[in-house]
Structure 1
Amino acid sequence: MVIKQLIKRTSGWLYLNSAVGRSQLQGAGVILMLHRVLASDHTANLPHRNELCVGPKAFEHLLIWLRRHFDCVPLMDILQPGTLRSDRPKVALTFDDGWRDNAVNAFALLQKHQVPASIFLSTDFIGSRQRFWWESLGETLWESHGEQARRHLIECLYKRGHPVPVLMDDLDENRRSVTLLHYLQSLKSLDARELSRLTDECPQESMPQALDWQQVRALESSGLVRFGPHGASHAILTSLDDQRLDEELSRSRDALLNGCNRPLPVYCYPNGDHDARVRRQVAAHDFPFALGTGTGIYRGNSDPLALPRFGVSQRTARNPELLSWRIFRGGQP
């Protein structure tokens, strides 16, 4: 595994620093997908947090690396490029969900390094104490809220037919975290109402998980951050009937129109899930662009309602050459 990682990192470095790599990336756009920037790199390192979270040191390391190899631009500069051209490839940062730590931890580093970003809000959560099920269930099962709360949730999950694996009691922290990651992934297929009921069995936290509208407006007024919709309730759009899909799209669009001065004309699919019906409805709600989770480089000739992105984890933020390896793979014909 170590040798494999070394080969990928070396190949990624060579790709960005070779004439062939520079030629392939010229005029191209790379869109990155992040979610959270935690207060500590140690907490972001564990497997059940690694994919959605980065720590502040890793995030700053990533920003420095990006500025060295790319022109860091707003998302719309990639989707609607102007007349000014650069030999360097462009990169745009996007954040999904609208976590409060985007303002508390990420923004200061974005400002320090003058890297613009787009944040896509699950609008029902903004300015409310509504909670993301993954965070509430995951951290309760991790015992972040105490053993009593953990035992109560485990009992509720068992009664509802979702027993927690025995390995969740493994003494090894890493194995326990991997088990939790796989368990949370298995719950993604549950009905949103069931996940909400399970979330209600978790302790309330001292601070809301999501941004509030005052924070949204403050970030927007900086000129460095713009906002777009990421669903209203974060429901998987492909699972909704036509009426609920229309309501979800309309509610999230209207919330951005009321809460922001310049909302992006870009929709961001919750969990990346979309199909032809969803794409038609997104276009009908006046969104010419939409972000998925498929990987690839944007060259302006792919479906604007299924834009590719590269996910950034704590691991790749700490080792950006792994990201350049994925960009190399995503840029192949």
Structure 2
Amino acid sequence: MIKNILRKMKHCIQDTGTKGYVLMLHRVSEIDSNGIFMNENMKVSPKFLEDFILKYKEKYDFISSTEINDRLKNKSKKKFIVFTMDDGYLDNYTNAFPIFKKYNVPFTIFVASDFPNMKCFLWWHILGDMILQKDYLRLSDGSIYTCATLEAKNLVFEQFRSKILLLNHDKFITEFCSLFGVDFPELQIFNAKYCMSWENIFELYKNSLVTIGAHTAHHANLRAMETENDVEEEIIEGVKELEKHIPDYKKSVFAYPFGSPFEIGKREIAIAEKIGFVSAFLGYGRGVKEKNNHWAFPRIALTENFDFSILK
């Protein structure tokens, strides 16, 4: 009871001056209770999303990510909610879009251009499938990891994930394939399974409810890049791909890949402002306040185990 009281007090303090909330999703798909938790936690089910919209559609104004700056200037006492989705997963088109359209709710998809280009190296899905299919994994360095139970599989996935995020950016795919003894061309089937096509994205773009935002080209860890020029090129390459495939596309909003303090710092935020985005979004935080840096708006992950006490 005391913990619950302290948690609610903490949220009340954090909520002071809050004008609204930006929610971060990745996928809208049925949850697999026998899947890798960290991958399944990237999802909400279609029912969860629909129930969430029905629960809050009267209490909050659902607005677009491009409207936040103007909303912070006005004196409206009613708070807002913004729905954002990262990367460019196919179920954003097949499952989420019909729900948002049904209730006339605006939303933003931040697209990493490697997704629709079918070149994204979806290592988290690749790794998850490998672990689920085996009772143990032997790596090229000779180490062996036992993963016979679901609990062990989740633990091994977390251990591997920590190692993988430290791999050399320029040699990432080569080092990953070498470490796990897999062949990259065979892994590209994951793109067709999980990624939207440019045709899907263009159809979404034509709908007034949808904002297509930038999310870099390769979904890279920007903070791990050596120079400002490297970061700028990675972001601009993603924008150019959007301009190439979407007639009349104009850059507006941007989300940093991964989005935690381990991947985003002052350098990356300054570059997003320099490039000319209207606003940019982190992958963590709480409510949006008037004093927020417009190129570092906080977001709250919307998951099936969402803490509803956050929303005031």
TM-score range, shorter chain: 0.7 to 0.9
Residue 37 of structure 1 corresponds to 28
Kindly indicate whether residue 145 of structure 2 is the aligned counterpart of residue 165 of structure 1.
Answer: yes
Contact 2:36–2:128, Cα closer than 8 Å, also in 1:
no
Residue 102 of structure 1 corresponds to 92
Q: After superposition, where does 1:75-90 map in structure 2 within 5 Å?
A: 75-81=65-71, 86-90=76-80
The Cα shift of 1:184 comes to 2.3
Determine the C-alpha separation between the residues in 1 that align with 2:299 and 2:2: 24
Shift in alpha-carbon separation, 1:178–1:108, aligned structure 2, 3 A: farther
Shift in alpha-carbon separation, 1:76–1:283, aligned structure 2, 3 A: same
Determine the C-alpha separation between the residues in 1 that align with 2:250 and 2:128: 31
Shift in alpha-carbon separation, 1:44–1:215, aligned structure 2, 3 A: farther
Residue 189 of structure 2 corresponds to 205
Kindly indicate whether residue 165 of structure 2 is the aligned counterpart of residue 184 of structure 1.
Answer: no
Residue 216 of structure 1 corresponds to 201
Residue 319 of structure 1 corresponds to none
Contact 2:110–2:255, Cα closer than 8 Å, also in 1:
yes
Residue 325 of structure 1 corresponds to 309
What is the DSSP-based 3-state SS (H/G/I as helix, E as strand, rest coil) of the residue aligned with 1:30? strand
Contact 1:48–1:178, Cα closer than 8 Å, also in 2:
no
Shift in alpha-carbon separation, 1:62–1:4, aligned structure 2, 3 A: farther
The Cα shift of 1:291 comes to 0.8
Structure 1 stretch displaced more, 123-132 or 69-78 = 123-132
The Cα shift of 1:50 comes to 3.6
Kindly indicate whether residue 213 of structure 2 is the aligned counterpart of residue 228 of structure 1.
Answer: yes
TM-score normalised by length of structure 2: 0.81
CA deviation profile, 1:78-100 (whole Å, cap 9, x unmatched) = 22229876432100011111111
The Cα shift of 1:4 comes to 8.5
Q: Which amino acid in structure 2 is aligned with residue 311 of structure 1?
A: A
The Cα shift of 1:165 comes to 3.5
Give 5+ residue unaligned stretches, structure 1: 317-321, 329-333
Determine the C-alpha separation between the residues in 2 that align with 1:306 and 1:72: 20
Residue 249 of structure 1 corresponds to 235
Residue 258 of structure 1 corresponds to 244
Determine the C-alpha separation between the residues in 2 that align with 1:118 and 1:84: 22
Q: After superposition, where does 1:39-188 map in structure 2 within 5 Å?
A: 40-43=30-33, 47-81=37-71, 86-143=76-133, 147=134, 154-155=137-138, 158-160=139-141, 163=143, 165-166=145-146, 168-170=147-149, 173-188=150-165
What is the DSSP-based 3-state SS (H/G/I as helix, E as strand, rest coil) of the residue aligned with 2:117? coil
Contact 1:41–1:57, Cα closer than 8 Å, also in 2:
no
The Cα shift of 1:190 comes to 1.9
CA deviation profile, 1:38-59 (whole Å, cap 9, x unmatched) = 2x23359752224311222222
Contact 1:44–1:53, Cα closer than 8 Å, also in 2:
no
Q: Which amino acid in structure 1 is aligned with residue 200 of structure 2?
A: Q
Structure holding more helix per residue: 1
Instruction: Count how many residue pairs are aligned between Structure 1 and Structure 2.
Output: 296
Contact 1:37–1:101, Cα closer than 8 Å, also in 2:
yes
Determine the C-alpha separation between the residues in 1 that align with 2:198 and 2:238: 14
Kindly indicate whether residue 229 of structure 2 is the aligned counterpart of residue 239 of structure 1.
Answer: no
Give 5+ residue unaligned stretches, structure 2: none
What is the DSSP-based 3-state SS (H/G/I as helix, E as strand, rest coil) of the residue aligned with 1:58? helix
Residue 28 of structure 1 corresponds to 19
Determine the C-alpha separation between the residues in 1 that align with 2:277 and 2:57: 30
Q: Which amino acid in structure 1 is aligned with residue 166 of structure 2?
A: S
Contact 1:44–1:314, Cα closer than 8 Å, also in 2:
no
Q: Which amino acid in structure 2 is aligned with residue 246 of structure 1?
A: E
Contact 1:44–1:50, Cα closer than 8 Å, also in 2:
no
Determine the C-alpha separation between the residues in 2 that align with 1:124 and 1:88: 38
Q: Which amino acid in structure 2 is aligned with residue 270 of structure 1?
A: P
Determine the C-alpha separation between the residues in 1 that align with 2:166 and 2:275: 26
Contact 1:230–1:268, Cα closer than 8 Å, also in 2:
yes
What is the DSSP-based 3-state SS (H/G/I as helix, E as strand, rest coil) of the residue aligned with 2:89? coil
Determine the C-alpha separation between the residues in 1 that align with 2:35 and 2:100: 21
Q: Which amino acid in structure 2 is aligned with residue 165 of structure 1?
A: Y
Determine the C-alpha separation between the residues in 2 that align with 1:96 and 1:44: 24
